[in-house]
Amino acid sequence: MNNKVICLACKGEGLDENDEYCKECGGEGVLPLPE
């Protein structure tokens, strides 16, 4: 189990939900990774 997310607005980079870069995307396109 991991808490990584896919931020589509961040070019689909796998980032931590607390990553500042992902926050700069405005939280758009953030999805939990499938197990």
Give me the percent of the chain exceeding a pLDDT of 70: 0
* Residue extents of the structural domains in the chain: 1-35
- pLDDT (tens digit, 9 = 90+) per residue, 12-26? 555 565 666 555 555
- The per-residue pLDDT for 22 is 58
- Measured at the CA of 34, the angle between CA 33 and CA 35, to 5 degrees, comes to 115
3-state SS assignment for residue 31: strand
Q: How far apart are CA 14 and CA 2, in angstroms?
A: 11
Q: Is the pLDDT of residue 8 over 60?
A: no
- The per-residue pLDDT for 26 is 55
- The per-residue pLDDT for 12 is 52
Q: In one letter, which amino acid is 20?
A: E
Average pLDDT of the chain, as a whole number: 56
